[in-house]
Amino acid sequence: MSFDYDLFVIGGGSGGVRAARVAAQGGAKVALAEESRYGGTCVIRGCVPKKLMVFASEYPGHIEDAQAYGWDVTGGDFDWLAFRGKLEGELDRLEGVYRSLLKNSGVETFDTRAKLVGAHEVELADGTRKSAKHILLAMGGWPVKPEQKGAELGITSNEIFHLGKLPGKMLIVGGGYIACEFACILNGLGVEVTQYYRGEQILRGFDGEARGLVSEEMIQKGVDLHLGTNILEMEKTGEGIRVKASNGRTDVFDEVMFATGRAPNTRDMGLEELGLELGRNGEVIVDEYSQTKVPSIYAIGDVTDRVNLTPVAIREGMAFVETVFNGNPTPVDHELIPTAIFTQPEMGTIGLSEEEAREQEPVEIYCTSFKPMQQSFAGRADRVLMKLVVSQQSRKVLGCHIVAPGAGEMIQLAGIAVKMGATKEDFDRTVAVHPTMSEEIVTMREPVRKA
């Protein structure tokens, strides 16, 4: 049977674009459909604009530090519209780069929605049908609002980049990394930020000591964080959005942002009708080679809800091409993935938290918390944390957790050692780079506790 294409990709985010491009460069006939903007969550409404906002929000602190170091500088007001215009220009540029990469690789693109109508067939929004030997689902995910009265008054992380003006007073609901990052960003930009999280501590699933420090530092920097707190009701009033909380507090905010979860983009895609298996959150169930129950259909990235990170989606896309087009079955390695949370201070982490490791085997904990030289000299009370979780038996470093400015940069490099299986003694043998914050990672001689 002859097909229109060797591969049809649904979704123009980081994973889908990489898979389409690499398959086409290898000689396959490839098409890709994207109903929104090319670049997906990461480039258009995630990592890239968020990190640029992080940079913008850090300048008030830099100006204060400069004054403490003897510079005669003063900061003016933040011009949100000037920043937003530049941000949108940069996103347009990056989307153009993605489009060029596809075009130059010979991928045919369709700027429209596509859904499955057969094991080898997709239907575009205008009713046109295209056939392909292989179909790759890479539709990503989307923020979801809680099902509660008044939720439609709130925004999500998608809309935060496009606000007409910065709110004076804002409520952020949630305790995951998206909620915490934006609480820090907006606080840094001069917004009065309140954060509600129903759990007992923010950043659930991360190392307890590390997330405790991030929480303390956020509060110290001005975020009004309320744990064990949820919204009971919200309504629009003349002054803004009136919110009644479970802690007995009623307050009025200019904006309310929900960062309470994301769901895979699988609705109305024709998946279940074809026999594809979906999980509880609507995610596409795949095997270690990203293959679904229908052999010709694969899925990668956030739509599979495995590890929802851009570099992981890209790796899954590469592994898919290796498996399907290069005849080299390649499972995706989801073990020991370094990650950064761009709160202020940042958190970088790889491997097991102390809590997870203790349940698995006897461990030693090496940990130090201190005031870094740069901030201490400037009179700031900021604290940082360096922590290693070490197996008592194998001596391997099972987890590394850093809370500090630049923790994302540090964990990328520490992650190489942990991924290679470095032991505590390997760390000890490495000479310290002095004076740096990260030297503490290789100078901790005695465990603070064993568990």
Residue 366, H or E segment: strand 363-370
Paired tokens of 417: 């050692």
Paired tokens of 150: 């008044």
Q: What is the DSSP letter of 283?
A: P
Distances (CA, A) of 424 to 354, 412, 441, 447, 450: 15, 18, 10, 11, 14
The SS3 call for residue 161 is: coil
Residue 159, H or E segment: helix 157-160
What residues are labeled active site?
434
Paired tokens of 324: 């399907």
CA distance 195 to 203: 13
Give the orientation angle of helix 14-25 with respect to helix 80-105, to 10 degrees: 30
Distances (CA, A) of 301 to 14, 25, 28, 35, 315: 9, 21, 21, 17, 9
Q: Which residues contact 212 (CB under 8 A, 6 or more apart)?
A: 201
CA distance 109 to 218: 44
CB 385 within 8 A of CB 405: no
Q: Which amino acid is located at 329 in the chain? A: P
CA distance 114 to 316: 21
